[in-house]
Amino acid sequence: MGRKPGPRKSEVNRHGLSRDIPADRALRVRRECGFGCVLCGKSVVHYDHFNPEFKDATDHDPAGIALLCGGCHDEKSRKYLSTATIAGARLNPLCKRTGFSWKKLGLQGEPIVDLGGAQFRRSPIQIAGRRLLEVKPGEEPGVPFRLSALFTNAVGHEVLRIEDNIWKASTGSWDVACEGGRISIRSGLSDYCLILRAMPPEGVKVERLDMRLGDYHVQCPDEETFLLLHQGRVIIDARYGVFDGVELIFD
């Protein structure tokens, strides 16, 4: 059966159902899938109506919607993946088994990390015995440097780590969502503990952060501010600061 050329995708299906999934149902899908592709765990995903397919759906039933990354969604469209496989993974998603969703950062050269308004180049940060930021050279000439980082929420629970240029977002968070090149992690409805923007190929920018490590708080209340506090007292207040080749250790 041929298809007439026309608009790429209808806003509504033949039952009048909009593609827009209500926010509360989308959040439920994200949580039940562990915030990543149910098959491979990647953080950047589509909402895939698999039971029934969107064209046949009369509502957005979370049980029939799975998070799928572009690659796995493409495999489904090209008939290399069955609906039964997706349904099985929806019930036992990879991220729930591993504890995280992931994404590789497309970095080249020596990574630059912006924490709010402060820029860090070749400047590791250690706080309360934990490595907050670290860059290692590539394992051989010509391969990218390796960025590692650790982010917790305001009560000290890990929400995201970067290991050798791969971010791993914890499935234990209240919400994790990827959109517009960013990963946003919330502890509550409007309680953002981390908004991290990928800045390929240079590095990453932390646009919002509210994390605790021991008696320390690291905060980026906006894109221009970096605050480090110890027992409520401000130790560093940096706006448009550049840290280049400095090791910051607060133990």
Integer Cα distance of 180 and 199 in angstroms? 11
- Which one, 72 or 178, has the nearer CB to Zn ion? 72
- Binding status of residue 39 toward Zn ion by CB under 5 A: yes
Q: In whole angstroms, how close is the CB of 236 to Zn ion at the nearest point?
A: 39
* Joined tokens for residue 78: 């090209």
Min. distance of Cβ 54 from Zn ion in angstroms? Answer: 18
Q: Closer CB to Zn ion, residue 60 or residue 73?
A: 73
Residue nearer to Zn ion on the CB measure, 17 or 105? 105
User: Could you say whether residue 69 binds Zn ion (CB under 5 A)?
Assistant: yes
Q: Are 37 and 94 in contact (CB under 8 A)?
A: yes
Nearer Cβ to Zn ion, position 72 or 112? 72
Can you tell me which of 13, 21, 27, 40 binds Zn ion, judged by CB under 5 A? 40
Q: Which residues contact 88 (CB under 8 A, 6 or more apart)?
A: none
Q: What's the closest the beta carbon of residue 7 comes to Zn ion, in angstroms?
A: 27
Residue 95 engages Zn ion in binding (rule: CB under 5 A): no
For residue 37, state whether it binds Zn ion (rule: CB under 5 A): yes
Instruction: Give min distance, CB of 243 to Zn ion, in A.
Output: 36
Place of tokens 């929400």: 159
Indicate the residue among 101 and 184 with the shorter CB distance to Zn ion.
101
- Residue number with CB closer to Zn ion (39 or 220): 39
Cα–Cα distance measured from residue 46 to residue 33, given in angstroms and rounded to the nearest whole number: 12
Binding piece for Zn ion, criterion CB under 5 A, among 70-78, 119-127, 129-137, 139-147: 70-78
- Residue 36 near residue 93, CB atoms below 8 Å: yes
Which residues are CB-neighbours of 166 under 8 A, at least 6 positions away?
102, 103, 104, 105
Strand boundaries in the chain, DSSP class E: 45-49, 65-69, 100-104, 112-115, 118-121, 125-127, 130-136, 146-152, 158-163, 166-170, 175-179, 182-188, 191-199, 203-213, 216-220, 226-230, 233-238, 242-244, 248-250
Q: Which stretch binds Zn ion (CB under 5 A): 23-31, 42-50, 87-95, 130-138?
A: 42-50
Give the interface with Zn ion as residue ranges (CB under 5 A): 37, 39-40, 42, 69, 72
